[in-house]
Amino acid sequence: MNCSVFHSHVCSPRQLSYLQSKDICLTPKHHEHDDSFSVPTPACDFVINSLFAESYAVLYTMCSVSCADMDRKYWERVLYLNAHTDVKLLTYLDVDRDLWPIDIEDVSDLDAPMIRATARKKFYKSAIHTMQRLSCEYNPTAKLAILAETFSEISTCVSRFALAGSEHVWSSDDLLPAFMYVVVRAQIQHLGAEIRLIEDFSPHLRGAGQIELMFTMLKASFVHICNEKSLP
């Protein structure tokens, strides 16, 4: 798929409808018995590992070149959005205030409001750090595992530090804005190339349940940031 038409294919109307109709079962990662985030591994994954170990640089360069225009536009907007404080960015992305997690347990009650108002990259901090590891992996299956872990960290952050707490039941309507915040703060410069690489080499992703939904959210976030008319 050429990234010049990336925006028209990356998230179809059917996929958007699917997103809007779904409740998401996000279980914090310490529930190790839960397999909600299992990533299907192809039987030939050992071959894929060997292939990508040898040819990743070439394949990634090809993806980067084909997605260069979209990635350039995306990166310019990510830099613009990252200039804002957490509160302003969360508000802009319309993240529910009950889902604003920040660890301020070690400060006085008087300092807490100021910390929340001026914080940068403090909300969903562990999820941001997890998402940043996406570009460190070369196997598409490993990249999907990082994506699944990111969603798990989002849930953990809300369970521990947000008003919604551990009883919150996620829907796509409240998960997508929170995930977009994490994507913006993670500042992956060539996210379009990463998406292209995963999609081209992960045929096992189709019909794979929640991980397919998570990947669709990643694509939707990328396209939204690229096409948002209110951004310069």
CATH code (residue 144): 1.20.1050.80
Start-to-end C-alpha separation, the chain: 27
Kindly give the parts of the chain with pLDDT less than 70: 1-46, 103-120, 208, 232
pTM, full prediction:
0.81
Total number of domains in the chain: 1
User: What is the per-residue pLDDT for 135?
Assistant: 93
User: What is the per-residue pLDDT for 54?
Assistant: 83
**Domain interval for residue 201:** 44-102+113-227
User: What is the per-residue pLDDT for 231?
Assistant: 73
Asked if residue 23 is part of any domain, the answer here is no
Asked if residue 157 is part of any domain, the answer here is yes
Asked if residue 6 is part of any domain, the answer here is no
Asked if residue 62 is part of any domain, the answer here is yes
Asked if residue 121 is part of any domain, the answer here is yes
Angstrom distance (rounded) from CA 232 to CA 222: 16
